[in-house]
């Protein structure tokens, strides 16, 4: 539906000024092709001179407004907007930028002091420096470990398998360390897909454990591994092929896969046929706790075409000509579905698998598409797990952008931080949320002419409530200890039985199994934000160390109270009219109550809930 | 008539992307690959193949207005309860007794209140689970499909489907969410459907919903509500875009819920009710379930969950932390009181009781092993199980299907499907009772694959247990 809207978007042409919008390329700015091969963190640290605005910005929506094209992203995005005749809005304010980039890169809102210092900073490249600072923080690893944990679905209990908390934790710690150390993304993927050893002692074998299918033959587990990695690392719905050929099924779903056969998927699954997960007692005091030794202990293991039960349609010995079950081929041998490539002589099968998956362009394409979605709330190809390599030009809202992001990511050696930095430093990312050139049309969303707000994720929201009120929860996590941020929880089923867990569930964290993460809204969310004591006690002066408590200990001046509450909650100073409204409210009754009410109302403002 | 807003191009009961008249099966017949024999079964079961005649224009029962879905995770022993097999293992105080003119032997000593209602209850003994793994089976019965199957990861809870389907008939007095889950913890949600169809999860408390009333009082709340709207211009300008306005709508709906008189009474219970329903939180949840369906304020599907049936050991030990005794002591008075109350309350249609209009279903994820107990005096996981239905227009006082003397094999399917009754059939039954076309295929799923309310139901593989009516 969204794509259809986009196709007609150019026909809808806009207000008078926008069609004459001209995208200005700085004179010496490299073309996107050049920059994709030279992009690096240091090269971008110095933004083009157009970024410095010593004078007031031009009036909103002025045609030809000076928006610097910082890198290839801007060239592609503003180029597309120019083609489509859509005018971009203005750049974000420092406050708007800081809140956004802090949430996106670290999952946390900035505290008041950080906002004040950032606004006061006159250093020309302060935004770039802030991005680097955030990328280097521990909170960066927390936030992206949550993302990667969702991607590989690291969870202690799932409907098909149990990692137990011990396996979940060691897997979680592996991810977090990898993000902290800046491990290349392709290497992380390869390590996970070939993980071996004791699932309670080593993180990566849990990738295999998570896909174990108990109610079927081992081929079902092999299929899970191939289809899961196909979906999560290649962004393609290989699951469809695990029951039937693509022909006459997938034409409308994924035309590339429509030409593939179930046998092609079997060949993907066959890469796992040497691997076994052997259960072992995981806890001397509890016989129900099992860990697994995952290793390539079945060198002669093959993917046999001999099943009649389990989770898939029967696997039969197909005749290559007739397609009937009367054939003589009794097993599938490993071959990569996208290229037909087979393992090298002597190469361990899962190593070959990881090598081929991560070497294929679809790997980087899927990754940048996911990450773009994390930063903008809307991916270049939606849904992110159904990329059709045969239809990239029509499926992607901006095919060139997708390709340039991919080549940039590959050229950086799958440097996760460098990719995020390229995005965060771009003017595209730094556009304002407010659309000021004229009336807004929802159909323009995928052109990114403004930063389009999306609801904070479950964990971001709870952490933002805690940080803005300065009252932090204490989560006891089995095997890890106490953490004070929801973003530090090792999986999305943690704390399920307490009020925080209920709130996190209400805000759609999902369960890394059959409940998907969502940032939809609901009645339950609104009720909780207004009436849950998680919120209402945090705005009380009588709550120890609360923001309201601290403010009121230092001042009774309504103007100062308003300033401090806006800063702590919305990460910005109030506008003059907001300030005077707040002052009259604070003066309209008991100051303590009114102060509490003001922060309550700010916590319930759409601006707080969205980013 | 249904859901034009929800599903503009939603085709019901037709083929997938290939269009009418060219179903997958047709294709497979043409292609002749030999896979056709097993095409429709998630798990191959030869018996299924005989029941594959296409259901054309599903006829719906539409006898119920709402459903109370009682879920017993852990899985109770069917041969000690609904499908009693008396043997050396049977404790004497189970007091097996004949009911319904000798049609059923029932452990009156274990489930005395339930026994009083056997004339309203229909037991299906030919139930069969797909998987003997708790989490897999639990998800399966709540989403009516294999969680590991093609649409498992995007599938909504069956209550979310009911909620969506009832959306079009909602009126302004329908302030309650369509699907409310009581004491059910983390269960499947709205899947790929909008979050408003997700279960509204409630942990019961005598004072009602923790978030329906403002903790600092109504006066304070009114001040705060108006302050929210004074300072938040984005609520009227829509400057933050459509998703933010959706959120604003939910604020308005929440306010309507808070303002509607007596809403919290529905979620509350008296000490007397608490006692009469067995003095347990499960009992409390059935009081609330009763209140919600009889209030007729928009809630069509209520799930009440009672955990703790995984009796691998000490199943007959009254002093064990959890045994059949401790569990049934919670289940039985609550279930009995629920049926008593629903039967005594008038329905929305003249001459009908609330029970007549409420389908009460009891399911678990699977059953337990039969015969003598295991070496830990317990019973292990087993696929054979029973389903229990009452109200909602079905005919009670009956047993459908039979197992053999040991209880490990089916002896008589006992229903027109002439095969094992699967969780998918239970879901089809619920949908049909509520007037929801169980053969529906939505075409708004993110995979663009076509989302079947009940997989393969359109092909006649699964369907309602029609003999219940």
Q: Does A157 touch chain B (CB under 8 A)?
A: yes
Q: Which of B32, B195, B216 sits opposite A508 (nearest CB)?
A: B195
- Beta carbons of B228 and A601 less than 8 Å apart: yes
* Strand B179-182 relative to strand B200-202, pairing: parallel
Return the residue of B nearest to A382 by Cα.
B446
Q: Do B135 and A160 touch (CB under 8 A)?
A: yes
Contact assignment for A522 to B32 by CB distance below 8 Å: no
Write the DSSP string, B1-25: ---TTT-TT--BSS-STT-TT--HH
- The token pair at B57 is 């224009």
- Write the secondary structure of A452-503 as one string of H (helix), E (strand) and C (coil): CCCECCHHHHHHHHHHHHCCCCCEEECCCEEECCHHHCCCCCCCCCCHHHHH
Phi and psi dihedrals of A332, rounded to 5?
-100, 140
Q: Do A526 and B251 touch (CB under 8 A)?
A: yes
- The DSSP element (H or E) to which A354 belongs, if any, is helix A349-359
Q: What global pTM score does this model have?
A: 0.79
Q: Find residues 283-342 of chain B whose CB sits inside 8 Å of chain A.
A: none
A320 confidence band (pLDDT: 50, 70, 90): low
Helix, strand or coil, per DSSP, at residue A156: coil
Q: What is the mean pLDDT of residues A454-473?
A: 98
Once rounded to an integer, what is the mean pLDDT over residues A153-172? 94
Partner B contacted by A316 (CB < 8 A): yes
Of the partner residues A435, A440, A605, the one whose CB lies closest to the CB of residue B231: A605
Confidence at residue B321, expressed as pLDDT on a 0 to 100 scale: 83
Average pLDDT value for residue range A452-461: 97
ipTM over 0.90: no
- Looking at CA atoms only, how far is residue A162 from chain B in angstroms? 9
Instruction: List CB contacts (< 8 A) between A324 and chain B.
Output: 32-34
E strand or H helix that includes residue B302: strand B301-305
Identify the bridge partners of residue A293 per DSSP, sorted by sequence position.
A198, A278
Given a cut of 90, whether residue B148 has pLDDT beyond it is no
Query: Closest to B211 (Cβ–Cβ): which among A434, A493, A532?
Result: A532
| Chain centroid, CA B403 distance in Å | 24
Task: Reduce the DSSP state of residue A113 to 3 states and report it.
Answer: helix
A517 in contact with B, Cβ within 8 Å: no
The span from the CA of B324 to the CA of B318, in Å, is: 8
- B15 within 8 A of B23, measured Cβ to Cβ: yes
What is the per-residue pLDDT for A383?
87
Smallest Cα distance from A600 to chain B, Å: 7
At A8, the pLDDT band (50, 70, 90 cuts) reads very low
Residue among B34, B150, B258 minimizing CB distance to A240: B150
What 8-state DSSP symbol labels residue A58? Answer: P
How far apart (Å, rounded) are the C-alpha atoms in residues B41 and B51?
A: 11
Residue A523: pLDDT above 60? yes
Does B231 lie at the interface with A, CB-CB under 8 angstroms?
A: yes
Q: Does A150 touch chain B (CB under 8 A)?
A: no
Q: Which residue has the higher pLDDT, A39 or A539?
A: A539
Residue A83 has pLDDT above 50, yes or no: yes
User: Nearest-5° angle of CA A279, CA A283, CA A285?
Assistant: 135
Confidence band (pLDDT; 50, 70, 90) for A131?
Answer: very high
Stretch 22-51 of chain B: residues touching chain A, C-beta under 8 Å? 24, 27, 31-35, 38-39, 41-44
**Chain B partners within 8 Å of A445 (Cβ):** 241
Asked if A601's CB is within 8 angstroms of B240's CB, the reply is no
More confident residue, A596 or A19: A596
- B366-386: pLDDT as tens digits: 999 999 999 889 999 999 999
A279 interface with B at CB cutoff 8 Å: no
> CA separation (Å) from A478 to A156, A170, A281?
11, 12, 19
What are B389's strand-pairing partners? B122, B361
Residue of A nearest to B235 (CA): A606
A508: closest chain B residue by CA? B195
Write the DSSP symbol of residue B443: S
CA A69 to chain B, closest CA, distance in angstroms equals 25
Judged on CB neighbours under 10 Å (0-12, 13-18, 19+), A31 is exposed
Which of A160, A253, A455 has its CB closest to that of B243? A455
Whether the CB of B128 is below 8 Å from some CB of chain A: the reply is no
Q: What is the pLDDT of residue B30?
A: 27
Query: What's the mean pLDDT in A366-379?
Result: 97
The minimal CB distance from B250 to the residues A214, A510, A523 is found for A523
A4 versus B416: the higher-pLDDT residue is B416
What share of chain A has pLDDT > 70, as a percent? 89
Portion 193-222 of A in contact with B at CB < 8 A: 213-216, 220
CA distance A313 to chain B (A): 6
Q: Is the pLDDT of residue B463 over 90?
A: yes
Q: What is the largest CA-CA distance in chain A?
A: 87
Query: Contact A237/B211, CB-based, under 8 Å?
Result: no
A101: which 2 tokens? 């980039």
Average confidence (pLDDT) over A101-122: 98
CB atoms inside a 10 Å sphere around CB A83: 11
CB-based contact B231 A523, cutoff 8 Å: no
- β pairing state of B104-107 and B96-99: antiparallel
Peptide bond into A592 cis (omega under 30): no
Chain B nearest C-alpha distance from A34 (Å): 36
What SS3 string covers A86-107? CCCCCECCHHHHHHHHHHHHHC
Q: Which residue has the higher pLDDT, A418 or B30?
A: A418
pLDDT, residue A322, reads 66
Please tell me which of the candidates A316, A323, A505 has its beta carbon nearest to residue B201: A505
Which 533-592 residues of chain A touch chain B by CB within 8 A?
533, 536-537, 578, 581-582, 585
Q: Which residues of B touch A604 (CB under 8 A)?
A: 224, 228, 232, 251
Percent of chain B scoring above 90 in pLDDT: 72
A28 in B contact zone (CB under 8 Å):
no
Per-residue pLDDT tens digits for A397-430: 999 999 999 999 999 999 999 999 999 999 999 9
Query: Which of A383, A496, A610 is the closest to B186 by Cβ?
Result: A496
CA gap B244, B250 in Å, rounded: 10
Query: What pLDDT is stored for residue A243 in this prediction?
Result: 84
**Average pLDDT for chain B:** 86
From the list B165, B190, B200, the residue with the least C-alpha distance to B66 is: B165
Contact state of A237 with B44 under an 8 Å Cβ cutoff: no
In this predicted model, what pLDDT tens digit does every residue of B226-247 receive, in sequence order? 999 999 999 999 899 888 998 9
What's the average model confidence in pLDDT over B22-39?
28
* Angle separating helix axes A458-469 and A547-554, nearest 10 degrees: 20
Backbone angle region of B204, left / alpha / beta, with phi > 0 → left and psi within -120 to 50 → alpha: beta
pLDDT at A4: 31
Residues 6 or more apart whose Cβ sits within 8 Å of residue B162: B67, B178, B179, B300, B301, B430, B431, B434, B436
Question: Which residues of chain A make contact with B231, given a CB cutoff of 8 A?
Answer: 578, 581-582, 598, 601-602, 605
Alpha-carbon separation of residue B306 from B270, B284, B329, B400 (angstroms): 21, 11, 12, 25
> How many C-beta atoms lie closer than 10 Å to residue A49's C-beta?
10
User: For residue A415, which phi and psi values (nearest 5 degrees)?
Assistant: -80, 105
In terms of DSSP bridges, do strands B358-363 and B66-71 run parallel, antiparallel, or are they unpaired? Answer: parallel
Cβ-Cβ pairs closer than 8 A, A with B, add up to: 257
Place of tokens 């039979």: B402
Q: What DSSP string describes B142-197? A: HHTS-TTSTTGGGPPPHHHHHHHHHGGG--TT--S-SEEEES--S----TTS-GGG
How does pLDDT run across A273-289, given as a tens digit for each residue?
999 999 999 999 998 89
Torsion angle of alpha carbons B267, B272, B275, B279, nearest 10°?
A: 30
- Report how far apart, in Å, the C-alpha atoms of A542 and of each of A37, A539, A549, B230, B301 are: 57, 9, 7, 26, 41
B448 touches chain A (CB under 8 A): yes
From the list A308, A514, A522, the residue facing B195 with the nearest CB is A522
B158-189 burial, b if ≥16 CB within 10 A, otherwise e? bbbbbbbbbbeeeeeebbbbbbbbbbbbbbbb
Compute the nearest-CA separation of B65 from chain A (Å). Answer: 23
First to last CA, chain B: 25
Q: Is B234 within 8 Å of chain A by CB?
A: yes
| Closest CA of chain A from B189, distance in Å | 6
CA-closest candidate to residue A515, choices B133, B197, B187:
B187
Whether residues B17 and A251 touch (CB distance < 8 A) is answered with: yes
Chain A residues 394-433 within an 8 A CB cutoff of chain B: 433
B227 inside 8 A of chain A by CB? yes
pLDDT surpasses 70 at A12 = no
CB contact under 8 A, B33 and A251: no
Overall size of chain B counted in residues: 469
* B388: closest CA of chain A, how far (Å): 24
Q: How confident is the model at residue B3 (pLDDT cuts 50, 70, 90)?
A: very low
pLDDT score recorded for residue A31: 32
C-alpha dist (Å) from residue B372 to A366, B83, B222: 55, 15, 63
- Averaged confidence pLDDT in chain A: 88
Q: What is the pLDDT of residue A17?
A: 30
Chain B residues whose beta carbon lies within 8 Å of the beta carbon of residue A508: 189, 195
pLDDT score of A44 more than 90: no
Distance, CA of A194 to CA of A350 (rounded, Å)? 5
Q: What backbone phi and psi angles, to 5 degrees, belong to B411?
A: -105, -30
Least Cα distance to B198 among A518, A155, A535 occurs for: A518
Q: Which of A530, A596, A609 to mutate to test the interface with B (most CBs of B within 10 A)?
A: A530
Residue A392's pLDDT band (cuts 50, 70, 90) = very high
């Amino acid at each position: 539906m969204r794509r259809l809207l986009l196709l007609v978007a150019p026909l809808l042409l806009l207000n008078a000024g926008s069609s004459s919008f001209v995208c200005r390329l700085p004179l010496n700015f490299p073309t996107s092709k050049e920059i994709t091969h030279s992009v690096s963190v240091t090269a971008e640290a110095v933004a083009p001179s157009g970024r410095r605005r010593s004078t007031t910005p031009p009036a909103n929506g002025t045609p030809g407004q000076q928006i610097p094209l910082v890198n290839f992203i801007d060239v592609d995005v503003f180029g597309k907007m120019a083609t489509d005749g859509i005018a971009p809005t203005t750049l974000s304010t420092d406050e708007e930028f800081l809140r956004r980039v802090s949430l996106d890169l670290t999952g946390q809102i900035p505290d008041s002091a950080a906002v004040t210092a950032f606004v006061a900073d006159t250093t020309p490249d302060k935004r770039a420096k802030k991005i680097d600072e955030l990328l280097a923080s521990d909170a960066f690893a927390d936030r992206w470990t949550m993302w990667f944990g969702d991607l590989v679905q690291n969870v202690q209990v799932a409907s098909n398998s149990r990692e137990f908390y011990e396996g979940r934790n060691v897997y979680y710690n592996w991810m977090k360390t990898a993000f902290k150390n800046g491990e290349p993304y392709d290497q992380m993927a390869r390590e996970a897909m070939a993980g071996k050893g004791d699932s309670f002692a080593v993180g990566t074998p849990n990738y295999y454990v998570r896909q174990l299918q108990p109610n079927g033959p081992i081929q079902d587990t092999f299929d899970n591994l191939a289809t899961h990695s196909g979906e999560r690392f290649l962004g393609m719905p290989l699951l469809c092929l695990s029951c039937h050929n693509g022909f006459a099924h997938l034409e409308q779903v994924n035309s590339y896969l429509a030409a593939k056969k179930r046998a092609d998927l079997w060949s993907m699954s066959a890469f796992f046929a040497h691997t076994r997960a052997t259960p072992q007692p995981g806890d001397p005091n509890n016989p129900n706790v099992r860990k697994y030794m995952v290793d390539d202990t079945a060198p002669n293991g093959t993917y046999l075409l001999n099943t009649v039960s389990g989770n898939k349609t029967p696997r039969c010995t197909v005749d290559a000509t007739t397609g009937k079950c009367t054939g003589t081929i009794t097993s599938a041998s490993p071959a990569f579905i996208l290229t037909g490539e087979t393992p090298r002589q002597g190469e361990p099968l899962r190593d070959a698998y990881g090598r081929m998956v991560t070497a294929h362009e679809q790997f980087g394409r899927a990754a940048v598409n996911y990450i773009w979605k994390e930063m903008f709330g809307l991916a270049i190809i939606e849904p992110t797990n159904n990329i059709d390599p045969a239809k990239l030009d029509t499926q992607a809202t901006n095919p060139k952008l997708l390709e340039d992001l991919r080549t940039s990511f590959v050229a950086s050696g799958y440097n996760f931080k460098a990719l995020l930095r390229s995005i965060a430093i771009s003017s595209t990312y730094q556009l304002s949320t407010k659309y000021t050139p004229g009336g807004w049309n929802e159909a323009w969303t995928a052109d990114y002419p403004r930063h389009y707000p999306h609801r904070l994720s479950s964990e971001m929201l709870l952490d933002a409530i805690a940080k803005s009120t300065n009252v932090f929860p204490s989560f006891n996590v089995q095997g890890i200890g106490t953490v004070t941020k929801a973003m530090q929880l090792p999986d999305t089923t943690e704390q399920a039985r307490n009020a925080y867990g209920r709130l996190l569930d209400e805000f759609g964290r999902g369960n890394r199994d059959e409940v998907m993460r969502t940032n939809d809204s609901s009645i339950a969310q609104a009720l909780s934000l207004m009436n849950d004591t998680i919120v209402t006690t945090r705005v009380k002066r009588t709550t120890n160390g609360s923001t309201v408590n601290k403010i009121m200990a230092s001042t009774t001046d309504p103007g100062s109270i308003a300033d401090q509450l806006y800063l702590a909650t919305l990460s910005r100073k109030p506008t003059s009219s907001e300030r005077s409204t707040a002052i009259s409210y604070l003066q309209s009754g008991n100051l303590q109550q009114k102060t509490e009410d003001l922060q309550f109302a700010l916590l319930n403002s759409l601006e707080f809930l969205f980013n | 008539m249904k859901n034009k807003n929800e599903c503009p191009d939603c085709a019901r009961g037709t083929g997938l992307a290939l269009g009418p008249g060219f179903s997958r099966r047709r294709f497979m017949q043409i292609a002749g690959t030999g896979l056709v024999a097993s095409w429709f079964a998630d798990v191959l079961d030869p018996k299924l193949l005989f029941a594959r005649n296409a259901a054309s224009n599903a006829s719906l029962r539409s006898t119920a207005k709402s459903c109370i879905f009682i879920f017993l995770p852990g899985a109770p022993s069917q041969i000690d309860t609904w499908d009693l097999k008396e043997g050396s293992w049977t404790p004497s105080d189970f007091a097996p007794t004949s009911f319904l003119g000798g049609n059923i032997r029932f452990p009156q000593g274990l489930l005395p209140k339930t026994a009083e209602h056997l004339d309203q209850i229909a037991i299906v003994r030919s139930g069969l689970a797909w998987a003997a793994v708790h989490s897999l089976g639990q998800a399966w019965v709540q989403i009516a499909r294999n969680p590991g199957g093609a649409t498992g990861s995007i599938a909504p809870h069956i209550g979310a489907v009911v909620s969506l389907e009832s959306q079009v008939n909602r009126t302004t007095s329908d302030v309650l969410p369509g699907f409310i889950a009581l004491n059910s913890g983390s269960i499947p949600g709205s899947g790929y459907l909008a979050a408003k169809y997700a279960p509204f999860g409630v942990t019961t408390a005598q004072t009602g919903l923790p978030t329906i009333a403002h903790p600092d009082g109504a006066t304070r709340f009114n001040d705060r509500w108006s302050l929210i709207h004074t300072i938040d211009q984005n609520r009227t300008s829509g400057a933050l875009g459509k998703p933010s306005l959706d959120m604003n709508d939910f604020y308005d709906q929440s306010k309507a819920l808070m303002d509607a008189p007596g809403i919290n009474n529905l979620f509350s219970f008296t000490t007397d009710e608490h006692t009469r329903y067995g003095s347990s939180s499960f009992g409390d949840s059935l009081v609330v379930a009763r209140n919600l369906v009889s209030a007729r304020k928009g809630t069509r599907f209520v799930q009440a969950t009672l955990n703790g049936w995984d009796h691998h050991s000490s199943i007959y030990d009254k002093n064990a932390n959890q045994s059949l005794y401790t569990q049934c002591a919670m289940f039985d008075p609550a279930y009995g009181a629920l049926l008593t109350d629903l039967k005594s309350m008038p329905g929305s249609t003249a001459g009908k009781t609330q029970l007549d209009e409420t389908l009460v279903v009891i399911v678990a994820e699977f059953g337990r092993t039969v015969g003598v107990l295991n070496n830990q005096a317990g019973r292990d996981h087993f696929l054979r199980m029973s389903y229990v239905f009452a109200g909602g227009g079905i005919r009670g006082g009956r047993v459908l299907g039979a197992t053999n003397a040991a209880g490990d094999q089916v002896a008589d399917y006992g229903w027109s499907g002439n095969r094992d009754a699967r969780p998918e059939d239970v879901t089809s039954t619920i949908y049909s009772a509520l007037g929801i076309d169980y053969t529906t295929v939505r075409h708004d799923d993110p995979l663009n694959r076509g989302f079947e309310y009940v997989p393969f139901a359109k092909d006649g593989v699964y369907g309602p247990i029609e003999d219940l009516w």
